[in-house]
């Protein structure tokens, strides 16, 4: 394993510069191509579907197989919090993502502070 590799000060700056160049290069290509992409094309529908599938897979992985501190919360609590947040999000006419995320965070903090051993 290569954990805790000591880096020189200049190596950190080079790593930061490379990350910035990679990020902004991809963003600039996206901006340049954004006017040329037909949003009703089959490719765009496919890309949207793949994006939603990846987000759903990462969300399920975080709930079912979490890493770090979230792994100490039992599975039934994580699933219950997810159910509550979905109910909050779908409770209004508009999709209420902000309040749903806030309720989920508050539920997990309450569990960790008051109900965990």
Per residue in 21-53, pLDDT tens?
999 998 898 888 888 878 888 988 998 999 999
The Cβ of residue 81 has, within 10 Å, a number of other Cβ atoms equal to: 20
Cα 20 to Cα 7, 14, 109: the distances in Å are 18, 10, 34
Q: What is the mean pLDDT of residues 90-113?
A: 89
Distance of CA 89 to CAs 14, 22, 31, 92, 111, Å? 42, 35, 31, 7, 20
Q: What angle do CA 98, 24, 10 make, to 5 degrees?
A: 110
């Amino acid at each position: 394993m290569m954990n805790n590799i000591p880096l020189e000060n200049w190596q950190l700056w080079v790593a930061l510069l490379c990350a910035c160049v990679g990020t902004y290069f991809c963003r600039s290509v996206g901006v340049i191509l954004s006017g040329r992409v037909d949003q009703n094309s089959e490719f765009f529908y496919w890309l949207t579907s793949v994006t939603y599938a990846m987000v759903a897979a990462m969300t399920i992985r975080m709930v079912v197989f979490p890493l770090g501190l979230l792994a100490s919360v039992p599975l039934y609590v994580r699933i219950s919090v997810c159910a509550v947040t979905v109910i909050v999000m779908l409770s209004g006419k508009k999709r209420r993502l902000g309040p749903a995320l806030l309720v989920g965070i508050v539920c997990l903090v309450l569990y960790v502070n008051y109900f965990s051993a």
